[in-house]
Amino acid sequence: MTTLSAPATDPHARQVSPRVSQSVFDGSRLRVVLLVDVYEGAQQQFLEAYEQLCNQVASVPGHVSDQLCQSIENPSQWLITSEWESAPPFLAWVNSEEHVRMVEPLHSCVRDTRSLRFHVVRETGGPAPRADSAQGRLQASPRIGDGVIRHALTFTVKPGSEEKVAKILSEYASPEPKVDENTRLCRTSLFMHGNRVVRAIEVRGDLLAALRHVARQPEVRAVEEAVNPYLEQDRDLDDPESARVFFTRAALPAVHHVNAEQEDPKARRHALYYPARPGRGMELAELLARQDEAAADDPRRPIVRSTIFQRDEVVVRLIDVRGDLEAADPALVLGIADAGRLAELTTLPKDRDLAHVLQLVRADLVTDRRSAGA
């Protein structure tokens, strides 16, 4: 007889704070589910491409196992599941240029994909793995979210075009917030830090449906076309492959979110951009996440909520701040009080005080729009 394991009794398990509604940093084992729609007649080509990919993935640090399954009802529908020791090694791989190149052989035989990522909370078959197990541990307890999915895109524009791009992005007409009966756009926040654009969105419902809905809106397409000449990475929105590669590289996943308290309508949204040293982006994001979680109950903390986005060396922290940012303790706003640690993980100057560092990492707000009823 199989039993449900109960990792909450594991003394090595790290307890989940009720304020943290999203995190990839608790050390829990990760299950990745990829739903794949293959073109008719391309099943054998897909299988061969998968086998080549599978051999490469097996050597990626943190990878445990994977399975390939074909639907018994529709031969064009396939399912790939993989298991990872924890989320960070998977995210480091899936967001890398190596991964972009690795999956290229699949593009000619795949019509559509959908990726889902889950921490393993319970399983049958025996006791939970210990924290020092090679397979990682289970998530100690369920997270209590707020029903909002957070995602961001980032890209760079040609130096000297920043003012033109900011004007284009600030003047677009907001798309219809209702996607379908279950999905709605809640908020879009757009910032620029030098020539880097960061667009963060909040969605209730299905993120993929919301992204596709936005991409189809004429007003959004017009803005994207207007920005195209200024992009450092060329893209052709009429070429599905060109658009896919661009948005794959632009994706900036949310890796941690903390709600310090209930919604404060007076809180103002800010974005901080931390340029990580090569290979240190995930480590920097985890440090910020740990400090945000630890500071959530600090009564001096002016931050109502915080979301950390990370991809490679790009780390962005979106914060909602009560009161005047300039009057707040820069250490609390930055999320790192140790200037030496900050200098170790980022390319920021070593000989500046935290108040100056805060000015260096602050991004300029282009637009912050809430949908009616959000």
Per-residue three-class SS string for 93-137: HHCCHHHHHHCHHHCCCEEEEEEEEEECCCCECCCCCCCCCCCCE
Domain regions of the chain by residue span: 19-119, 149-370
Domains 19-119 and 149-370 share a fold: yes
The pLDDT of 175-179, averaged and rounded, is 87
Task: Confirm whether pTM is higher than 0.95.
Answer: no
pLDDT at 135: 53
Confidence of residue 317 (pLDDT cuts 50, 70, 90): very high
Higher-scoring residue by pLDDT: 237, 11: 237
Residue 313 has pLDDT above 70, yes or no: yes
Q: Please, are residues 120 and 30 in contact by the beta-carbon 8 Å criterion?
A: yes
CA dihedral 51, 56, 59, 61 (to 10 degrees): -110
Q: In sequence order, which residues have a C-beta less than 8 Å from that of residue 192 and are 6 or more positions away?
A: 162, 165, 166, 198, 363, 364, 366
Q: Is the four-CA dihedral 113, 117, 122, 125 of positive or negative sign? A: positive
Residue 133 has pLDDT above 60, yes or no: no
DSSP-derived secondary structure letter, 4 = B
pLDDT at 262: 62
User: Collapsing DSSP states into helix, strand and coil, what is residue 28?
Assistant: strand
The pLDDT of 54-81, averaged and rounded, is 93
Domain 19-119 part of CATH 3.40.50.300:
no
Question: What is the tens place of the pLDDT at every residue in 228-262?
Answer: 999 999 888 888 778 888 888 899 999 999 986 66
* Distance between CA atoms of residues 191 and 374, nearest Å: 21
Confidence of residue 126 (pLDDT cuts 50, 70, 90): low
Confidence of residue 18 (pLDDT cuts 50, 70, 90): low
Confidence of residue 301 (pLDDT cuts 50, 70, 90): confident
Q: Please, are residues 146 and 259 in contact by the beta-carbon 8 Å criterion?
A: yes
Average pLDDT value for the chain:
86
Question: What is the tens place of the pLDDT at every residue in 193-224?
Answer: 999 999 999 999 888 888 888 888 888 889 99
Residue 316 has pLDDT above 70, yes or no: yes
* Distance between CA atoms of residues 64 and 134, nearest Å: 9
What's the one-letter identity of residue 200? A
Give the sheet arrangement for strand 30-38, strand by strand.
63-70, 77-84, 30-38, 110-119
Q: Which of 107-116, 175-184, 234-243, 249-258 has the lowest mean pLDDT?
A: 234-243
The pLDDT of 255-282, averaged and rounded, is 88
pLDDT at 130: 52
Residue 11 has pLDDT above 50, yes or no: no
pLDDT at 40: 93
The pLDDT of 53-68, averaged and rounded, is 91
Q: Which of 76-80, 100-104, 157-161, 231-235 has the lowest mean pLDDT?
A: 100-104
Largest CA distance in the chain: 67
Helices (H), the chain: 43-57, 87-94, 97-102, 162-170, 207-216, 218-227, 240-250, 281-295, 330-334, 339-345, 354-361
Higher-scoring residue by pLDDT: 123, 285: 285
Q: Please, are residues 129 and 137 in contact by the beta-carbon 8 Å criterion?
A: yes
CATH of the structural domain 149-370, one choice from 1.10.357.10, 3.30.70.1090, 1.10.287.110, 3.20.20.140: 3.30.70.1090
As a whole-number percent, the residues of the chain with pLDDT over 70 amount to: 90
Structure tokens at 140: 């100690």
